Structure 1
Amino acid sequence: MNYIIAIDQSTSATKAMLFTDKCEMLKRVNVAHKQYYPKPGWVEHDPEEIYANVLKATAELLKDENPAENTYSLAITNQRETVVVWDKATGKPVCNAVVWQCMRGADICNRLKAEGYGKVVQEKSGLLIDPFFSASGAKWILDNVDGARRRADRGELLMGTIDSWLVWKLSEGRSHVTDYTNASRTMLMNIHTMQWDDELLDIFTIPRTMLPELLPCDGVFGETTLGGIFAEPIKIAGVIGDSHGALTGQMCFEAGLGKATYGTGSSVMVNIGENASPAPDGLVTSIGLAACGKVFYAFEGNIHCTGATLKWLEEQLKMIGSPADVEAEAASVADSGGVYLVPAFAGLGAPWWNDEVKGAVFGLTLGTTRAHFLRAALESIAYQVNDLVKAMTVKAGVALKEIRVDGGPTKNKLLMQFQADCLRVPVNCSDIEEASALGAVIMNGLSRKVWASFEEVARLRKGKWRLEAQDNEERMNVLVAGWHKAVKQLLK
């Protein structure tokens, strides 16, 4: 048998999974790592702990397997913008990893924006200058860790996102590489030339000698024994950032296919094709996926409160016993009765981007019932995703073909049908348990020539259900216009 070990190194834990060449997951092991908060707004991880957890998780995963009887390879997907700087000779990090949530680079970013670098950074990298991305964290390390700048200038230090760190450690220092998707989240890669960009490196004062080699997601990244588990090294093939892994796992291999993950908030990514269009205001352009000799770009944006709205109804208002209770009562009325809930509990995210506004309810009358209110809360989720997807596709000049969905709220068929009615395209839910890991497995299989094309891979996709738009388009346009009127009243 050919087995793929997939490592999903997320913000909170390392998951090791065993897959077959038919994209079937056989087993999974999860090992959490510690979060460090040394100052308000700062978030760190210990890179050595993360590497140790990869070895621990894979050892547990394979404890009942006989590595000599089967063929194995390794694929990696990872938290993206988190950055590590380490000594090339000793392999020791110069400090803890700066996590994508960390705000220590905010002053650096604000200064660069004030100096007018925002336009060139966005034009070249597709990103907004923000501490969310890797470059400001790396610059902070070089500027503030004792001796780091001097050692970096002498060529003694390396840097990379978590995938680079793991591959370097797993290959015992033989491979310093990254894939295009992770690189596209650093603010240092030119997404048009597919190379590290000298001007961007100068802006962030990062020596080129620190940077990993760039490879497509279906590249061969090195070899590893996984700390001695295997007597002979196995291939590290297939590396991809986690959100891009989910896009790939949902098999969005052509322009106009997008994925929406419904969680506390929602992450939306749409494949916009092989041309890197400028993103709508407040959104970013990244490498969506790169394989089979092709590079597909994607727009990405995040919504603050989707599933969190249902938890608010449960935990704060005590209107429901659990989020699963919403559907039946919301379905007992034909519509929300003109009620609109704008769940700006943490401001409005993409595509509105206003952190100052608060949540509000519009359209209450003496005829409003609890069912109307619950339906309005449910519909607010679909309206927000609709706004974001439409902003993406109109800007890119791409016709949305289908949105592929995952996450807990997808169990709510009323919500998903309303989503299809808003978007006017099918909403398709697959039975994927681990979309990001599956994306890495797909890249691994493409690398090893298990599949020869995206079309061959796409035939493996298994759908749970698919909902077409049903409600009258004219009526839906009126409802969406009412939502926009409510949002704009908050933005005045």
Structure 2
Amino acid sequence: MDKYIIALDEGTTSARACLVNAQGHICGFERKAIRQIYPQPGWVEQDAYEVWNAQITALNALCARFQLSVKQIAGIALTNQRETTVVWDKRTGKPLCNAIVWQCRRSSAIIDAVCGDPLVAHNVQMCTGLIPDAYFSAGKIRWILDSIPQARTLAEQGHLAFGTIDSWILWNLTKGACHVTDPTNACRTMLYNITEQCWDSAMLQLFDIPHSLLPDVVPSSGEICTITCDCAALGARVCACVGDQQAALFGQCCFEKQQAKTTYGTGCFLLMHTGNKPYFSSSGLLTTLAALPAGTREAQYVLEGSAFMGGALITWLHDALGIVKDARDANAIARACPSTEGVVVVPAFTGLGAPYWDAQARGAIVGITRGTRAAHIVRATLDSIAYQVYDLIDAMQIDCGMSIKGMNVDGGVCASDVLMQFQSDVLGKPLRRSHNLESSVLGAAYLAGLSTGFFDSLDTLRSFHETDTFFMPNASREYAQGLIAQWHHAVACVRHHH
């Protein structure tokens, strides 16, 4: 009788249940879409019940499709969208309001009021590794306590529970018996001390949040709970819980310092493993915790940054400019156009992120001549993704004083050979593209499998990546540095003329 790990992947737009076998392959999955709710500009919500129902529906459908008995489930792994906030009544299990999604900006005024003093902002960063922002959970919790009738009173009476999406799902899987999270999710709340590895009383005081709301923090890998709710996996053990980006880092086998991964999605998420020492960024990057295999005691740290515009640029070329049909079309046009002839696209559509942090900057196409064709703009747009990643890696290397050994890549956009080769050339480093682009799912499954003996070692996990594709830099550093200088000149143009 074959055994499997089931990875529950609760993302922003859908919940999936994925079946992973002992060879590290995803054998199948079931997916259920989740609505985004936009009550007013800048606000993003989800119905927490709908999130839970989508996840349990996907799990039941997967077990039914593969006719799985609980004896065939070696473990359940959970990976999730981070920062999204749910507050519910412990007595009834009922949320006080819709989940506030990570993208939601409603708590910006709270963050400005609480962390407006630069010394306070510095203290928040040194404690939590995060730059104060509405993105993280603390401001969202505070908004709920301040804005929802009776919330503050119920919280002070000890009746409320806060959770990121992992906590909400685990609570429901155990019918309210289990109120926990893991360090990779806890460290994205802006309430967790990443060096002392605990909820921080000074941060709770700063944001005026009672400690009684918070889940217990348990290791990312190891037996967390047994499923007791009525579902096809009744009696199965949950053996991993991990935030999606740290799961992707683990899924790419970045277990040691100087290893890095970029997920090329709508935006680009870049994480660099820095070992057992946290490095606090002077470039606006975030310091966060890595997911650890079961039995690992010493914390491991990561620098994290993101580029706003990745795959969204292909959408822009299609929807706004009408010069490509789809991603494959963009790749073919770029392949046939070996040079941009000096054209540089700066995709600052919503400002520039790290390391510039210029919210007023706007996009530009620089270096156009009479000979510029649509193909040059397509190629320059793809190249701009690689330049943004270069800037992030450069900032990370400066922040921690060490260079990356190479880059592991995943996500839909990295299917472009042209972009991956150019990325390798610009970085001057080898790139390794995973043959399976579902790194978050695999990372969660790896963590669960290691804790149960389903996978026997890190070397076994590395062996699953022997068929990955490599890209080696084949441009001279001098040529690459010239292109980077051209990019930085174009960035300076949009910064100086807003």
Superposition TM-score, scaled by structure 2 size: 0.94
Contact 1:255 1:398 in 2 (8 A): no
Q: Which runs of 5+ in 1 are unaligned?
A: none
Assess if the C-alpha contact under 8 Å between 2:361 and 2:495 holds in 1. Answer: yes
Q: Secondary structure at the match of 2:64?
A: coil
* Aligned AA (2:350): A
Which residue in 2 is equivalent to 1:162? 165
Which consecutive aligned stretches of 4+ in structure 1 deviate over 6 angstroms post-superposition?
none
**Which of 455, 460, 463 matches 1:459?**
463
Q: In the alignment, is residue 30 of structure 1 matched against residue 31 of structure 2?
A: yes
Q: Alpha carbons of 1:49 and 1:334: their partners in 2 closer, same or farther (altered >3 Å)?
A: closer
| Whole-angstrom CA distance in 2 between matches of 1:149 and 1:323 | 49
Matched ranges for 1:195-274 at <5 A: 195-230=198-233, 233-274=235-276
The answer to whether the 8 A contact 2:22-2:455 is kept is no
**How many Å separate the matches in 1 of 2:465 and 2:6?**
20
Contact 1:7 1:75 in 2 (8 A): yes
2:200 paired with 1:175:
no
Instruction: Work out the CA distance in 2 between the residues paired with 1:33 and 1:330.
Output: 34
Matches within 5 A, 1:33-432: 33-64=34-65, 65-67=67-69, 70-116=72-118, 117-230=120-233, 233-291=235-293, 292-293=295-296, 294-432=298-436
Give the Å deviation of 1:469. Answer: 0.8
Does residue 1:484 correspond to 2:488, yes or no? yes
Kept in 2: contact 1:250–1:259 (CA 8 A): yes
Is residue 167–residue 215 contact of structure 2 (8 Å, CA) maintained in 1? Answer: yes
Any conservation in 2 of the 1:218–1:443 contact (CA below 8 Å)? Answer: yes
- CA shift in 2, pair 1:38/1:370, >3 Å: closer
What secondary structure sits across from 2:299 in the alignment? Answer: strand
Q: Secondary structure at the match of 1:289?
A: coil
Q: Distance in 2 between matches of 1:42 and 1:328?
A: 38
> In structure 2, do the counterparts of structure 1 residues 41 and 343 end up closer, same or farther at CA, with 3 Å as the change threshold?
closer
Moved more, 91-100 or 325-334: 325-334
With 119-128 and 481-490 compared, the bigger mean Cα shift is at 481-490
Instruction: Give the stretch that moved more between structures: 326-335 or 342-351.
Output: 326-335
Q: 1:197-246 CA distances to partner (integer Å, 9 max, x unpaired)?
A: 11011111111122111122113211104424356x22111000011111
8 Å contact 1:313–1:319 — kept in the other structure? yes
Stretch of structure 1 that moved more, 159-168 or 346-355: 346-355
What SS class does the counterpart of residue 158 from structure 1 fall into? strand
Write the deviation string for residues 137-158 of structure 1: whole angstroms up to 9, x where unpaired. 1111112222221121121111
Residue type at the aligned position of 1:148? A
Q: Deviations over 1:289-346 (max 9, x none)?
A: 2234143211111212232323323332233333323344434454222222212222
TM-score, scaled to structure 1 = 0.95
Residue 337 and residue 126 in structure 1: after superposition, are their counterparts in 2 closer, same or farther (change >3 A)? same
Query: How many Å separate the matches in 1 of 2:8 and 2:369?
Result: 53
379 and 147 in structure 1: CA distance in 2 versus 1, 3 angstrom threshold: same
- Give the aligned CA root-mean-square deviation in angstroms: 1.9
Distance change in 2, residues 1:370/1:70 (3 Å): closer
Check whether the contact 1:180–1:290 (CA below 8 A) recurs between aligned residues: no
Q: Residue 66 of structure 1: CA displacement?
A: 4.0
Secondary structure of the equivalent of 1:290? Answer: coil
Work out the CA distance in 1 between the residues paired with 2:392 and 2:366.
21
Match of 1:57, SS? Answer: helix
Q: Which moved more, 1:454-463 or 1:404-413?
A: 454-463
Once the two structures are superposed, residues 156-205 of structure 1 have per-residue CA deviations (whole angstroms, 9 ceiling, x without a partner) of: 11111111111111112221111100001000000001111110111111
With over 3 angstroms needed to count, the CA separation of the structure-2 counterparts of 1:28 and 1:298, relative to structure 1, is: same
1:63 is paired with a residue whose SS is helix
Match of 2:17 in 1: 16
- Give ranges in structure 2 of 5+ residues lacking alignment: none
What are the Cα deviations for residues 399-435 of structure 1, in whole angstroms up to 9, with x where unaligned?
A: 2111111223322222211110111111111122422
